[in-house]
Amino acid sequence: MKVAILGLGVVGRGVYDIISSNFKDIEVKYILEKDESKIDDLKHLVVHSYEQIINDREVDVIIELIGGKKAAYDFISKALKHKKHVVTANKALLSEKFEELTELAKDKDVQLLYEASVAGAVILLDPLKKIREINQINKIEGILNGSTNYILSQIFLGNKSLADAIAEAYHLGFLEQGSDDDMNGLDSLRKINILSMICYKSFLKEENILRIPLSSLTEEFIKYVKEKGYIIKYISKSKIVENILSIKVEPVIIHQKSSFANIKFEENIVNVYGKYHLKQSFIGQGAGRYPTASAVVYDLLTIKNKSKYSLSFDKTYHVNNDEEKYRFLVQNKNKIYKSEFMTYSEVIKEKDLICFSRIEEELYEKL
Amino acid sequence: MKVAILGLGVVGRGVYDIISSNFKDIEVKYILEKDESKIDDLKHLVVHSYEQIINDREVDVIIELIGGKKAAYDFISKALKHKKHVVTANKALLSEKFEELTELAKDKDVQLLYEASVAGAVILLDPLKKIREINQINKIEGILNGSTNYILSQIFLGNKSLADAIAEAYHLGFLEQGSDDDMNGLDSLRKINILSMICYKSFLKEENILRIPLSSLTEEFIKYVKEKGYIIKYISKSKIVENILSIKVEPVIIHQKSSFANIKFEENIVNVYGKYHLKQSFIGQGAGRYPTASAVVYDLLTIKNKSKYSLSFDKTYHVNNDEEKYRFLVQNKNKIYKSEFMTYSEVIKEKDLICFSRIEEELYEKL
């Protein structure tokens, strides 16, 4: 099997390393990378024209790791049209163009795989594609963003201030300079969107997801929660109850003994609830060169092995994020207070709202 | 695809229900079940001769759910010889005859699948078969037996005595009458054996596994650990360090905040450590009709989908369960005391030994 890697950044290099040291029957024939400083030893594989790759009949698989939406969209759709299998970790593109790209791949009878796009190293999309046929999944919840989980861990375990934790995350490369996607929740939103589409067999739109940016939290709010002995986690959740879908990304106040509290630093967790089992949890590293690269190579093995699910997406749900009332901790310009039961729409309309967070069941009385 | 179900007990009935309500293209053609009280509505599918099933060319897959070793071995080997795919949950048989049955299936070019044999509902063997090709797994640890985990949870969370917790487990059907396999650790041993063979690409023998029966624990020992604020979990673990394999099933004294402490009642967990990622955890229900049945149906989908890994088992390891020294809590006829660093062989030779448990790192000083 011959593959081309688009983008030789952190993950791309990891993919190259894993393939070349583990698989004699997979050959990296081309690398597309403009930044010559990244190429050094691999100059003989570098090409500058994508046309050369796409027109080479020997190339079976395009591995897209350049990120961003515009060029990646162009590369992936061209690859599928040329009947090349595609492996990508690009959650931003997938979340937005999932229907179009899925149908294009189906049309051309090739595979579009994206195990690395959700929860990095954690292998869950491949099993979920089968589990969804057996199990009628009705709830997914998880911590899907390693950067914000790192920051919250430093605040609640490492006892750092919000500002210091953010500064450290930048310093360590967990937060990207120039992108707010982690702190404003877009990264988590894309992942819960992809997970939900797969598990619920339905194409969903990003704009239907309720998203409370983590960056809305204030030092005072965090201090208040900390003093009560609780912690905040940035949780993504989607749920179906009788054809009504709710789907949210938000900070939640939880107990130190809650199972999410154990998911620390850059770790991710995904809990899936289905008709035939209560809960199945997938936990592991949400990011990093080799963890993410190994999920990319996992997809390559699926293609090499010719195993394929033809996934249908024939369900539709009515989206309603106000389907239930919750209790919230709310900060406005005068004070921090606990609300009575209310919907998200109602809490968002509170007077002088600065920030708010849902309170996990049973903590309300003690908060 | 046409299948036959051998054994219509708790899980067999679950498998029948899931197939008949979810899959139009899978037909249960035969059921082999002697106990007529279990058959009621399905009499038209029941046959009394296994030969009739095995000689029917239309039958693609045999689903073995009768348990036990002798008859199951006979049924499975005949099925494979007749070029039928086999799906089974039979860990006792697999752990003992893994090499023979794996090679027979390979020989006949059919699939032998057993997702339900380890950790019930938790889908982990299928992904691990691919992960092992990418990742060089070097450590596995987990809580693999729901019955004993239920008992320990009742003792340390529910504050029951050992005797009461065991009585309750019998009452609820978590412990089988007439079998000691859960309490003496054989069930866990079989599962860590199967997991290790798959992950390490090596055929292993049950007799090389160090097994400390949970039934060796005494009320006094438990009380001592409880008073110090710690808990006991029944943990299976195997590890490779430079070609030396250690593989154990044993009670371990751990901290309440340790991640294993969160695995409660009949839940199972498997942690897998590999070259390219730190830890990947799989958590879910370890038993139960529909959880286990859904893992059986998962395997059916693999066969229906014609996806197949030809697994090699070409590694060999030297087994040594004394490769490291640990500190233990030991009970002999006079007292309970903490040991200094010693090997398992050494602790087992202690004078008047009644029971012992390894102490998790960092707890020693406070115990």
Please report the ipTM that was assigned to this predicted complex.
0.91
Residues of B in contact with A307 (CB under 8 A): 305-308
B150, two tokens: 């239920």
Q: Which of B137, B294, B12, B272 is nearest to A272 (CA)?
A: B294
CA distance A279 to chain B (A): 6
Q: Do B305 and A307 touch (CB under 8 A)?
A: yes
Q: Which residues of B lie closer than 8 Å to A, measured between beta carbons?
A: 14, 18, 22, 121-123, 126-127, 130-131, 133-135, 259, 262, 274-285, 288, 290-291, 293-294, 297-298, 301-302, 305-309
pLDDT of residue A257: 84
User: Assign residue A286 a region: left if phi > 0, alpha if psi is -120 to 50, beta otherwise?
Assistant: alpha
CA distance A22 to chain B (A): 7
Whether the predicted pLDDT of A36 surpasses 90: no
Whether the predicted pLDDT of A282 surpasses 80: yes
Residue A37, CB-side half-sphere exposure with 13 Å CA sphere: 1
Q: Which of B239, B253, B242, B151 is nearest to B195 (CA)?
A: B239
- Stretch B151-177: mean pLDDT, rounded? 92
The letter for the amino acid at A26 is I
CA distance A152 to chain B (A): 18
**Bigger pLDDT: B233 vs A276:** B233
- Stretch A82-109: mean pLDDT, rounded? 97
CA distance B297 to chain A (A): 7
Chain A residue closest in CA terms to B128: A123
Q: Do B285 and A306 touch (CB under 8 A)?
A: no
Q: Which of A152, A115, A109 is nearest to A260 (CA)?
A: A152
Q: Say how many domains are in chain B.
A: 2
- Indicate if A136 and A91 belong to the same structural domain: no
CA distance A175 to chain B (A): 20
- Whether A21 maps to a domain, the answer reads yes
- Stretch B157-184: mean pLDDT, rounded? 91
A263 band by pLDDT with thresholds 50, 70 and 90: very high
Helix pair angle (A125-135, B289-304), 10° resolution: 110
pLDDT, averaged across chain B: 94
Distance CA B62, CA B72 (A): 11
B160 band by pLDDT with thresholds 50, 70 and 90: very high
The CATH code of the domain that includes A60 is: 3.40.50.720
Residue A106: count of CB within 10 angstroms of its CB? 16
- Indicate if B12 and B53 belong to the same structural domain: yes
- Stretch A121-145: mean pLDDT, rounded? 95
Residues of B in contact with A14 (CB under 8 A): 276
Task: Tell how strand B210-211 and strand B59-64 pair up.
Answer: unpaired
Distance CA B205, CA A107 (A): 49
Whether the predicted pLDDT of A310 surpasses 80: no
Which tens digits make up the pLDDT trace of A205-245?
999 999 999 999 999 999 999 999 999 999 999 999 999 99
- Indicate if B255 and B106 belong to the same structural domain: no
- Stretch A163-172: mean pLDDT, rounded? 93
- Stretch A284-305: mean pLDDT, rounded? 93
Chain B residue closest in CA terms to A18: B134
Domain boundary among A72, A88, A113: A113
Which tens digits make up the pLDDT trace of B41-58?
899 999 999 999 999 999
Residues of B in contact with A259 (CB under 8 A): 262
Q: Do B309 and A305 touch (CB under 8 A)?
A: yes
Q: Which of B262, B277, B288 is facing A284, going by the closest CB pair? A: B277
Q: Which of A127, A279, A291 is facing B127, going by the closest CB pair? A: A127
- Indicate if A96 and A210 belong to the same structural domain: no
Number of helices and strands (H, E) in chain A?
A: 11, 16
Whether the predicted pLDDT of A11 surpasses 80: yes
Map residue A274 onto helix, strand or coil: strand
Q: Do A291 and B305 touch (CB under 8 A)?
A: no
B38 band by pLDDT with thresholds 50, 70 and 90: confident
Please name the residue that has the structure tokens 């079940």.
B33
- Indicate if A109 and A132 belong to the same structural domain: no
pLDDT of residue A314: 87
- Whether A76 maps to a domain, the answer reads yes
Residues of B in contact with A122 (CB under 8 A): 280
Domain boundary among B89, B113, B137: B113
Percent of chain B with pLDDT over 90: 86
Residue A208, domain extent: 125-285+315-366
- Stretch B110-119: mean pLDDT, rounded? 96
Task: Tell how strand B112-113 and strand B85-88 pair up.
Answer: parallel
pLDDT of residue B306: 80
Distance CA B81, CA A185 (A): 55
Please name the residue that has the structure tokens 């199951």.
B72
**Bigger pLDDT: B278 vs A101:** A101
pLDDT of residue A209: 97
Sign of CA dihedral A145, A151, A157, A162: negative
Q: Do A280 and B279 touch (CB under 8 A)?
A: no
- Indicate if A18 and A152 belong to the same structural domain: no
A56 band by pLDDT with thresholds 50, 70 and 90: very high
Beta strands (DSSP E) in A185-257 are: 210-211, 231-241, 244-254
pLDDT of residue A365: 78
Distance CA B108, CA A243 (A): 46
Q: What stretch of H or E contains A156? A: helix A146-156
Sign of CA dihedral A45, A51, A54, A57: negative
What distances in angstroms separate CA B19 from CA A209, A236, B33, B47, B63, one per listed residue? 34, 32, 18, 19, 12
- DSSP class of residue A360? P
- Stretch B193-218: mean pLDDT, rounded? 96
Chain A residue closest in CA terms to B22: A134
- Indicate if A81 and A143 belong to the same structural domain: no
Distance CA B128, CA B145 (A): 19
The CATH code of the domain that includes B155 is: 3.30.360.10
- Stretch B22-27: mean pLDDT, rounded? 95
CA distance A188 to chain B (A): 20
- Whether B119 maps to a domain, the answer reads no
CA distance A120 to chain B (A): 10
Q: What stretch of H or E contains A120? A: none
Size of interface A-B (CB pairs under 8 A): 127
CA distance A78 to chain B (A): 27
- Indicate if B11 and B90 belong to the same structural domain: yes
Whether the Cβ atoms of residue A1 and residue A60 lie closer than 8 Å to each other: yes
Q: For A166-170, A173-177, B199-203, B282-286, which range has the lowest pLDDT when averaged over its residues?
A: A173-177
Q: Do B298 and A123 touch (CB under 8 A)?
A: no
Q: SS3 string of chain B?
A: CEEEEECCCHHHHHHHHHHHHHCCCCEEEEEECCCHHHCHHHHHHEECCHHHHHCCCCEEEEEECCCCCHHHHHHHHHHHHCCCEEEECCHHHHHHHHHHHHHHHHHHCCCEECHHHCCCCCCCHHHHHHHHHHHCEEEEEEECCHHHHHHHHHHHCCCCCHHHHHHHHHHCCCCCCCCCCCCCCHHHHHHHHHHHHHHHCCCCCHHHCEECCHHHCCHHHHHHHHHCCCEEEEEEEEEEECCEEEEEEEEEEECCCCHHHHCCCCEEEEEEEECCCCCEEEEEECCCHHHHHHHHHHHHHHHHCCCCCCCCCCCCCEECCCCCCECEEEEECCCEEECCCECHHHHHCCCCEEEEEEECCCCCCCC
- Whether A350 maps to a domain, the answer reads yes
- The radius of gyration of chain B's CA atoms, rounded to the nearest angstrom, is 21
- Whether A298 maps to a domain, the answer reads no
Q: Do B279 and A290 touch (CB under 8 A)?
A: no
- Stretch B304-320: mean pLDDT, rounded? 84
Which tens digits make up the pLDDT trace of B60-80?
999 999 999 999 999 999 999
Q: For B234-243, give one letter per residue: b (16+ CB within 10 A) or e.
A: bbbbbbbeee
Residues of A in contact with B282 (CB under 8 A): 280-283
- Whether A260 maps to a domain, the answer reads yes
- Indicate if B244 and B105 belong to the same structural domain: no
- Stretch A74-94: mean pLDDT, rounded? 98
Q: Which of A259, A281, A309 is facing B284, going by the closest CB pair? A: A281
- Whether A308 maps to a domain, the answer reads no
Q: Do A305 and B305 touch (CB under 8 A)?
A: no
Distance CA B141, CA B195 (A): 10
B244 band by pLDDT with thresholds 50, 70 and 90: very high
Domain boundary among B113, B146, B175: B113
Interface test with A, best of B280, B298, B310 (most A CBs within 10 A): B280
Chain A residue closest in CA terms to B289: A276
- Indicate if B174 and B250 belong to the same structural domain: yes
- Indicate if A97 and A207 belong to the same structural domain: no
The letter for the amino acid at B340 is E
Q: Which of B191, B183, B197, B88 is nearest to B142 (CA)?
A: B191
- Indicate if B169 and B255 belong to the same structural domain: yes
- Whether B290 maps to a domain, the answer reads no
Distance CA B11, CA B46 (A): 17
A175 band by pLDDT with thresholds 50, 70 and 90: confident
A266, two tokens: 């850059």
Distance CA B50, CA B47 (A): 8
Please name the residue that has the structure tokens 């080479």.
A56
Chain B residue closest in CA terms to A272: B284
Chain A residue closest in CA terms to B133: A22
Residue B56: count of CB within 10 angstroms of its CB? 15
